[in-house]
């Protein structure tokens, strides 16, 4: 999969407004209501990540989840990153 050019990344960022760009990654922080909910969110994301064969970097600090997405093999952001970001948003919203 080829990396997206800067203009495509800028357009795609509009589709995931909770995310921000950091270098060649898109990032988001989600705060769950409690630790067990945070773990359930991560479990659901893990299932989606396996389906897509695309795995986010995740940092879990109590109920605060930090995500970073990039396509290492492509050396930057691809459609896959934005697909997974949108799915992460849906999962997070289902636990709000």
Say if 82 falls within a structural domain: yes
Say if 1 falls within a structural domain: no
For the chain, how many structural domains are there in total?
1
Say if 79 falls within a structural domain: yes
Q: Give the domain extent around 56.
A: 6-94
Q: How does pLDDT run across 48-62, given as a tens digit for each residue? A: 999 999 999 999 999
Say if 10 falls within a structural domain: yes
Taking the C-alpha atoms of 50, 91, 69 and 72 in order, what is their torsion angle to the nearest 10 degrees?
10
Tokens 């989840």 — which residue?
A: 65
CATH number at residue 26: 3.30.1360.20
The reported pTM is 0.96
What does the mean pLDDT of the chain come to?
97
For residue 46, what are its two tokens? 């893990």
- Quote the percentage of the chain above a pLDDT of 70: 100
């Amino acid at each position: 999969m080829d990396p997206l050019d800067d203009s495509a990344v800028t357009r795609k960022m509009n589709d995931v407004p909770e995310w921000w760009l950091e270098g060649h990654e898109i990032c988001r922080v989600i705060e769950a209501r409690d630790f067990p909910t945070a773990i359930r969110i991560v479990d659901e994301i893990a299932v989606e990540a396996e389906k897509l064969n695309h795995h986010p970097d995740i940092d879990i600090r109590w109920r605060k989840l930090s995500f970073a997405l990039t396509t290492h093999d492509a050396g930057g952001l691809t459609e896959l990153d934005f697909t997974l970001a949108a799915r992460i948003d849906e999962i997070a919203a289902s636990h709000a």
